[in-house]
Amino acid sequence: MALLDQAAQRLLERLRLKVRPRAASGDQGGHRSEVRASGLEFAERREYVVGDDARKIDWQAFARNRTLSVRTFEEEHDARVFVLVDVSASMTRGAPPKLEVARQVAASFGFLGMNQVDRVRVIPFSDTVGRATPVLRRRDDYPGLEAFLSALSPQGATSFEASTRAFLQRFPGRGVVVVVSDLMEASDWSPSLRQLAQRGHQLSVVRVRCDEDHSPDFHGELELCDAETGDLLTLAVTKDLLDAYRAELEAHVARTRDACRRLGGRLVEAPVEQPFDQLLRQVLAPSLEHL
């Protein structure tokens, strides 16, 4: 079954990914930024200052108002879009499974990037980053992206710290980084997000969650197996224990959200129980020029 149906693709065709100039490359593509050189589209005039290229002086405007001004232009640049997809074992939970929704979210960001001729790479991660897609930048590349995402299988534990370190080593430069994960890891993500921002990346975190994450159906004496590490733990599950678990999870998500905001990014929620058309708009809205 296709990850994105025709209705979702038609919606995505009308949208544009918002990319700050700092995250765009110098190659021509689908994002506009103002430059003081000949570009693709005239933007505006501004007052001439000493040191400006005299060839850019607007002499027609000077003849009208006797004031020196220079023309600025809008030139289109492309961006590198990296979509990091959590494939750790905890992504199997939920109905539908969190990984299934993560695939759809990743496909949506990839579709947006390819639709505006950006350079898209999708990279799975758990305790490190896995094999990435080749560079995708045309709509014709989309079927290959769907095949890649559909083949991802969940396994292992999450280490966002190790995955970030490996990502920065393998993919130098800057761009847009979208992390799609359930955030089911005890370690603080803030230092790793800071490293990404310091490299010039524009950050978005999509938290794919299910009701079971917040309200596990556990009662009494249980032997629990960690889905990611395989570790066994015997404990008595009480209301106080579940309340403490929820409080710690909510604090972890809040720390991650605050870190994203401080670094100029966003964390958005993607509950798997929500109809996908609603979820898609909710997840993409902060990352779009227009919705």
**Which letter does DSSP use for residue 217 in this model?**
-
pLDDT at 191: 95
Average pLDDT rounded to a whole number, residues 8-14: 90
pLDDT at 59: 85
Residue 65 CA: distances (Å) to CA of 53, 60, 113, 214: 20, 9, 43, 66
Average pLDDT rounded to a whole number, residues 115-124: 89
CA distance 45 to 61: 9
Residue 30: pLDDT above 60? no
76, 28 Cβ separation under 8 angstroms: yes
What does the pLDDT look like over 245-262, one tens digit per residue?
A: 888 899 999 999 999 999
Residue 273: pLDDT above 50? yes
pLDDT at 60: 83
Percent of the chain exceeding pLDDT 70 equals: 78
For CATH 3.40.50.410, the residue range(s) in the chain are: 6-24+80-287
pLDDT at 44: 56
Three-state SS letters, 76-132: EECEEEEEEEECCHHHHCCCCCHHHHHHHHHHHHHHHHHHCCCEEEEEEECCCECCC
Range with lowest mean pLDDT among 9-18, 42-51, 252-261, 269-278: 42-51
* HSE-up of residue 88 (Cα within 13 Å, Cβ side): 25
Residue 131: pLDDT above 90? yes
More confident site: 63 or 229: 63
Per-residue b/e over 7-38, b at no fewer than 16 CB within 10 Å?
ebbebbeebbbbbeeebbbeeebbbbbebeee
pLDDT at 146: 96
CATH class entry, domain 6-24+80-287: alpha beta
CA distance 267 to 277: 19
Residue 279: pLDDT above 50? yes
Helices (H), the chain: 6-13, 59-65, 98-115, 142-150, 160-170, 190-198, 211-214, 239-262, 276-284
What does the pLDDT look like over 54-102, one tens digit per residue?
A: 777 888 888 888 888 766 544 445 679 999 999 999 999 999 999 999 9
Nearest to 168 by CA among 143, 119, 201: 201
Task: Give the three-class secondary structure for 253.
Answer: helix
- pLDDT, the chain, mean: 82
Please work out, in degrees rounded to the nearest 5, the angle formed at the alpha carbon of residue 230 by the alpha carbons of 227 and 236.
Answer: 80
pLDDT at 28: 45
What does the pLDDT look like over 139-159, one tens digit per residue?
A: 889 999 999 999 999 988 899
pLDDT at 72: 56
62: left (phi over 0), alpha (psi -120 to 50) or beta: alpha
pLDDT at 81: 93
CA distance 111 to 123: 15
pTM: 0.77
Task: Report the 10 Å Cβ neighbour count for 172.
Answer: 7
Residue 128: pLDDT above 60? yes
Residue 113: pLDDT above 70? yes
pLDDT at 215: 74
What's the full length of the chain, in residues? 291
pLDDT at 43: 45
CA distance 222 to 220: 6
Average pLDDT rounded to a whole number, residues 113-117: 84
Percent of the chain exceeding pLDDT 90 equals: 49
What does the pLDDT look like over 165-210, one tens digit per residue?
A: 999 999 988 899 999 999 999 899 999 999 999 998 999 999 999 9
